[in-house]
Chain A
Amino acid sequence: MLKIDNLHVRVAGKDIIKGLDLEIRAGEVHAIMGPNGAGKSTLGHVLAGREGYEVTGGSVTFDGIDLLALEPEARAAAGVFLAFQYPVEIPGVNNTYFLRAALNAQRKQRGEAELDSMQFLKRVREKLAVLHLKDELLHRAVNEGFSGGEKKRNEIFQMALLEPKLAILDETDSGLDIDALKMVAHGVNAMRDPGRAFLLITHYQRLLDYIVPDVVHVLADGRIVESGDKSLALKLEEHGYAWVAERKLAGAG
């Protein structure tokens, strides 16, 4: 579904991603772990199409199409979703209005019929029920005055509503208490599906206790330096990121 080949990315004149390879197939859950500054969030933003991230080499294909050639909105319509590490507050834009505009914009780009407000609200209620979220969230402006946990839950709610093919979760676990973390994990697990893939970007192993990944990658200095099954995350937790760097040096020697 997603194939990243020798990707190089520069941000503000500085090389951040330096030859990254990654392949994710439908139905898989991948986790990318790594120390601060390794390029984890940059990867998420590049995949979603944020401006200011200059791709200096390599390619990214999504379902066989060149993802990097698409505008952010077209990537969303194609099925790519990024749950933001820092969801943006948008005063004056009602959450429900925003969600319906987003869903219908995607449907329109895909040539599907737009949902009327009855159909839309029905879908909203279903997703709210699955995530145990309160209606009240809907009546407020997008993320405005939300607590950190509410913002993250709102991201997961958007994901549930938009039903992407590939969901990238950028440090969705950071700043969450254990109950909120479980709720987020529950939301993701409920959406696991043979046709859908997840890329979890995280600093800590904790999230992976609740969302069990198929593959774990370690990102360091702009490259994937190690990949393995879920036990890799446990080893990292035990030994710290320095351990990866040492192993890498030993391997190179």
Chain B
Amino acid sequence: MEAPLLDALTADPPAAAVPWLGEAREAALDALRRDGLPDTRVEAWKYTSLRALAQRRLLRDDASAASRPIGAHVLEGIDAQALRMVFVNGRYRADLSQLPDAEGLSLRSLADTLAHDPDAARGAFVQRDGGIAEAFARLNTATAVDGAILRVAAGVQIPAPLEIVWIGAPAEADLAWHARVLIELGAGASLAVVERHVAEAAHAHLGNLLVRCVVGAGATLAWSTLQDAAPGSSLIRRSEATLAEAAQLHLHTLEAGAQFVRHDLAVDLAGDRARLVSRGVFALRGRQHADTHLDVRHLARDTTCDLVWRGVADERSRGVFHGAITIAPGADGSDAQLSNKNLLLSPNAEIDTQPVLEIHADEVKAAHGATVGQLDERALFYLRSRGIPAEDARMLLTQAFCAAVFAEVEPAPLRERLLARLGGPDGALAS
């Protein structure tokens, strides 16, 4: 496909301070120029057309990101004492961030790391085999100059959650930013990360974020994402995680704000007894489009994945859910559960869901199911017959449908934040 987007973004690529990075950038760029962006004949992009995005001419990066004023309203709702790393249009902002001086916890921006200790950033440019061939990952590898490197030393428990805030701010023109994050937990460590996407004001930027998590033996990472980016913006995220023996990853995701969203979540359960729990909701309206691709691989014995996702599409929006679980040869005793239920609130909305289960091992437990339905008319009438107006009744039922997914989220304040974002007059489900 002709892609003025790529031409604009790959012209004059950033210089690399070290040879390994230069080689990685060059290889990604070559592959990108050769293969371009996928069209809808590519299975993984069947329901998500990049045609409109490919035609856009966006600036690469925001030259003024470091100095753009950010209104106090943007960081409202974040505990003033909370540890946080704040990014504006993909660039780290030390002035808005709050970094602790905690033993065993290291937080640095990618730009700073590349400038002073580039080899420490090398892990951020490693990718799972399949991920390397992905167009936006290539674009990211070729051009990302900022992001974060997070490391928790073995045995260290970080009690308070770390907020990573991605602020989209209007610039002189719409732009594309690319950032990558590496999160490494040593054996037995624990960390909670809250990733937030918010808007300073209206804009139509493209964000391209690549996060890689390496969770050591017996370590626990809790990672929650509240995607509340600007209504006109596009956001492409690729999240990869690899879990060592008895490691745990707890993911909570709420996709709400952006106009066009693609999220690829690729998790490798690489060590025996590794466990992934994922709870997610997408709530769409207007002409929003959100595509979530889960790709979980059971690579070791007695590994567990427990995935519950719900989707709501109203007006002319479109949701796509693809949940793939592979149980590799030798991953005996694995337990894989996937449930995806969806609610269509309008005859013009569409949801496509596809669970895919591949089993190559013995003595596994696996179950998957996906449904697309509408609000229960009997329940709606029941609520209305008690005096609750039709619109409120619809909202109540829709909220209940989604809230079930977040019912067990810990800690409680995070759960309340997720639920609050769903409901209320400005909530993702309000009409």
Task: Type the 1/0 row for A67-109, where 1 means its CB is closer than 8 Å to any CB of B.
Answer: 0000111011100011010011011110000100111011001
Given A90-B379, A92-B404: A76 in contact with B385 (beta carbons within 8 A): yes
Say yes or no for A48: interface residue by CB 8 A criterion.
yes
What's the tally of chain B residues with a CB closer than 8 Å to chain A? 23
Say yes or no for B377: interface residue by CB 8 A criterion.
yes
B388 nearest CB neighbor, chain A only: A105
Task: Type the 1/0 row for A17-57, where 1 means its CB is closer than 8 Å to any CB of B.
Answer: 00000000000000000000000000000001111000000
Say yes or no for B378: interface residue by CB 8 A criterion.
yes
**Contacting A73 at CB < 8 Å: which of B376, B389, B396?**
B389
A92 near B388 (CB under 8 angstroms)? no
A92 near B400 (CB under 8 angstroms)? yes
Say yes or no for B69: interface residue by CB 8 A criterion.
no
Q: Given the complex, which residues of A lie within 8 Å of B386, measured CB to CB? A: 76, 98, 102, 105-106, 158, 162
Say yes or no for B382: interface residue by CB 8 A criterion.
yes
Q: Given the complex, which residues of A lie within 8 Å of B377, measured CB to CB? A: 51
Say yes or no for B390: interface residue by CB 8 A criterion.
yes
Say yes or no for B381: interface residue by CB 8 A criterion.
yes
B384 near A73 (CB under 8 angstroms)? yes
Q: Given the complex, which residues of B lie within 8 Å of A162, measured CB to CB? A: 386-387
B390 near A71 (CB under 8 angstroms)? yes
Interface residues in B286-337 by Cβ distance below 8 A to A read none
What class of interface size applies to chain A in its complex with B?
Answer: 20 to 34
**Contacting A90 at CB < 8 Å: which of B385, B387, B392, B400?**
B400
Say yes or no for B3: interface residue by CB 8 A criterion.
no
Chain B interface, >50% SS class: helix
Given A91-B400, A93-B397, A105-B387: A72 in contact with B392 (beta carbons within 8 A): no
Task: Type the 1/0 row for A156-192, where 1 means its CB is closer than 8 Å to any CB of B.
Answer: 0010001000000000000000000000000000000
A76 nearest CB neighbor, chain B only: B387
Say yes or no for B414: interface residue by CB 8 A criterion.
no
A141 nearest CB neighbor, chain B only: B400
A103 near B404 (CB under 8 angstroms)? no
B389 near A105 (CB under 8 angstroms)? yes
Bound complex: CA of A157 vs CA of B389, how far in Å?
21
A51 near B381 (CB under 8 angstroms)? yes
A91 near B404 (CB under 8 angstroms)? yes
Bound complex: CA of A103 vs CA of B383, how far in Å?
11
Interchain Cβ contacts under 8 Å between A and B, 26 examples: A48-B381, A49-B381, A50-B385, A71-B389, A73-B389, A73-B390, A76-B384, A76-B385, A77-B387, A84-B382, A87-B382, A88-B378, A90-B379, A92-B399, A92-B400, A92-B403, A92-B404, A93-B396, A93-B397, A98-B383, A101-B388, A102-B386, A102-B388, A105-B387, A141-B400, A162-B387
Question: 8 new A-B pairs (CB below 8 Å) besides A49-B381, A102-B386?
Answer: A48-B385, A49-B384, A50-B385, A76-B385, A90-B379, A93-B397, A101-B388, A106-B387
Q: Which are the 7 A-B pairs with shortest beta-carbon distances?
A: A92-B400, A76-B387, A106-B387, A102-B386, A72-B384, A88-B382, A105-B387
